[in-house]
Amino acid sequence: SERMKKYIEIALIIICLLALTACGNKKEIILPEVENITEVEIIENTSKVFKRISDKKEMSKLISDIKDNSENANTESVNDQPTNVDSYIIIKFYHKDEEKNPSVVYLYRKKSNCYIEQPYTGIWKLKQEIFNNISDLISENNSL
């Protein structure tokens, strides 16, 4: 029937679009929008030092720094937290919608690269400079 044909056409278009986006391999890291979060906590897993950020501007900068400086490493994440990595930085996003709390990403160095891992979502390469900036945020806090 004519109607069935239309549905099949639409389905095909959707499938093609999905295939295109998959092959484009620009899987971006999905971080919360700053409007939807109340604070961010950055924690060093080995020393347990942490910094809380609740300033909108700072949170926004952190999120865009990560988004703009990460590229897909084509690696799946199948764990709650990074494996075979001794020290890492945990970034927790606290949402206004409490049910989502907290969403977490991990930053770490492996060999000569820096990575950001989103549990069960994926792993991205992160520019060293951003990794260092985020580490510095925590250590600043410590030296006060």
User: Does an H or E element contain 4, and which?
Assistant: helix 2-24
Residue 84 backbone class (left: φ over 0; alpha: ψ -120 to 50; beta: rest): left
Residues 6+ apart with CB under 8 A from 129: 69
User: By the 8 A CB rule, do 98 and 46 touch?
Assistant: no
**pLDDT at 78 (0 to 100):** 85
Question: In angstroms, rounded to a whole number, what is the distance separating the alpha carbons of residues 39 and 45?
Answer: 19
For the residues 49-76, what does the mean pLDDT come to? 91
**pLDDT at 97 (0 to 100):** 85
pLDDT tens, residue by residue, 87-132: 999 999 999 888 878 899 999 999 889 999 999 889 999 999 999 9
| Residue 23 pLDDT > 60 | no
Q: How far from the centroid of its chain's Cα atoms is residue 29's Cα?
A: 5
- Reported as a pLDDT band with limits 50, 70 and 90, residue 19 is low
Beta-strand pair 113-118/122-126: antiparallel
Gyration radius of the chain's alpha carbons: 19
**pLDDT at 144 (0 to 100):** 46
User: By the 8 A CB rule, do 37 and 103 touch?
Assistant: no
